Amino acid sequence: MPVLQKLVKDEGGKIILLVMDGLGGLPVDGKTALELARTPNMDRLASLHSVALMDPVFPGITPGSGPGHLSLFGYDPLEYDIGRGILEALGVDMEVLPGDVTARGNFCTIKENIVVDRRAGRIPDEKNRELIEKLKEGIKEIDGIKVILKSGKEHRFVVLFRGEGLTGSATDTDPHREGEPVLKSEPVDGGGRIADVVNKFSVLAREILKDEKPANGVILRGITGAPHIPSFPEIYKMKSLAIATYPMYRGIAKLLGMDVARVNGTNVKDEIDILKKHYNDYDYFFVHIKKTDSYGEDGNFEGKVSVIEEVDRLIPEILNLKPDVLAITGDHSTPASYKAHSWHPVPLLLVSKWTRISGVKGFNEKECALGDMGRIPGIYLTSLLLAHAGRLDKYGA
């Protein structure tokens, strides 16, 4: 990044990064969701521009959403380890003070201490808010540590712990798979007190929710404070806007110093309308589509296909803005047959007047493997976007 930062120009073309979360997949009856989807617009662009497969971290590593996105923004995810909790907290506009510790929470279904549904059937937002109010009433403080709760979407929520002595961090209580017991949080880097508070919170929440169905428990992950990380707009000299409906992705953009648009709706069209509204005000746009990942995690192959097709129908509206660079990719793969993030590389489509002509037949995993850019690390994406937008000087004499 230091070398790249020295090459960045003060001005250049506009860039749109369209991230379909969990885009990559595996074949079901011979085709992936991206292969089966009717995507004439992206297919045409793929044939006329550059495509590749991309490893968000490196081959064989299954990335979380945080590391996956950091890589897309040009940050080494092995150098910057950011907990999910702080991203979610910033994403729901919580005030995070020095010394605070945050965690991402899931309402879940527990049977005899075994997590049988990590998302409690994706309860409605209204039910989430009702349960958060119950927890707020019953858990205001634990051993002198203030407990602050805020609802997210569906099963998601954020908990913030505030008080003296909350150094270090702690391990997750979320087992990250169903059929496993709720984990005991253990201290990390001197985080003995926060681990103790987290475990007591889990027990108290379970008692308060014991008669609820299906959300009768909670699991926590990404238990940490706020890290220091360089500002994206300052490094790359671009006024930047994030357009995302889910808190975690809004949070990572906010942590990196991007402006974050307020999106009232939840569908793809709402996000593209925001893009059009603010297009003249910014240099760089991060547009995040969540449902490709959600359907993948739920094993809903047809749902994932439908979202990909919805995005493709809106591509002409994006192209009408005449961006200097348009990149379409994912932060990781989430095959519907696997029902989880996976280590498989993600397809990448790069559109610019300076790209080579790939000549591939469409935008999917198989065709991208034949692409002109080959297989690249995700951390190279930002330098490619900057170069194609005329925002990088020559390196060396």
CB 299 within 8 A of CB 33: no
- Residues 74, 108, single domain; the answer is no
- Select from 224, 252, 272 the last residue of a domain: 224
Q: In this structure, are residues 216 and 183 in contact, taking their beta carbons and an 8 Å threshold?
A: no
Is 397 part of any domain?
Answer: no
- Predicted confidence (pLDDT) per residue in 288-301, tens digit: 999 999 999 999 99
Q: Can you tell me the distance from the alpha carbon of 294 to that of 50, in angstroms, rounded to the nearest whole number? A: 28
Question: Containing domain of residue 166, as a range?
Answer: 87-224
- Asked whether residue 255 is assigned to any structural domain, the reply reads yes
Amino acid at 332: H
Q: Say which residue, 289 or 91, is predicted with more confidence.
A: 289
Kindly write down the DSSP assignment for every residue of 296-308, as one continuous string.
HHTT-HHHHHHHH
Task: Check residue 194 and give its pLDDT.
Answer: 93
- Report the domain count for the chain: 2
Same structural domain for residues 65 and 123?
no
* Statement to judge: residues 249 and 331 lie in one domain: yes
The neighbour count for residue 208, using CB atoms within 10 Å, is 18
Type of residue at 19: V
238, 383: one domain: yes
Model pLDDT, residue 144: 95
108 and 208 in a single domain? The answer is yes
CA 162 to chain centre: 26
pLDDT of residue 108: 96
**Mean pLDDT along residues 268-291:** 97
Q: Does one domain contain both 316 and 374? A: yes
pTM of the shown model: 0.83
SS3 203: helix
In sequence order, the 6+-apart residues with CB closer than 8 A to the CB of 272 are 287, 314, 317, 318
Q: Is residue 395 part of a domain?
A: no
Residue 58, in any domain of the structure: yes
pLDDT band of residue 120 (cuts 50, 70, 90) is: very high
312 and 259 share one domain: yes
Q: Which residue has the tokens 């991230």?
A: 19
**pLDDT tens digits, one per residue of 299-310:** 999 999 999 999
Question: How far apart are the two ends of the chain, measured CA to CA in Å?
Answer: 20
Which one-letter DSSP state was computed for residue 226? P
Question: CA 87, 88, 93, 96 torsion: positive or negative?
Answer: negative
Q: What is the DSSP letter of 172?
A: -
Q: What is the pLDDT of residue 115?
A: 96
Output the pLDDT for position 42: 99
Within 8 A by CB and 6+ apart from 111, the residues are none
Q: Which residues 6+ apart lie within 8 Å of 264 measured at CB? A: 270
Q: Is 306 part of any domain?
A: yes
Relative to beta strand 101-111, strand 114-117 is: antiparallel
Determine the Cα–Cα distance for residues 194 and 188; give it in Å rounded to an integer: 9
pLDDT above 90 covers a percentage of the chain that reads 84
A 10 A CB-CB count for 126 gives 9
The residue with greater pLDDT, 342 or 266, is 342
Angle between helices 268-278 and 301-319 (to 10 degrees): 20
pLDDT of the residue at 224? 87
Q: Give per-residue pLDDT as tens, 55-67.
A: 999 999 999 999 9
Residue 16, pLDDT score: 99
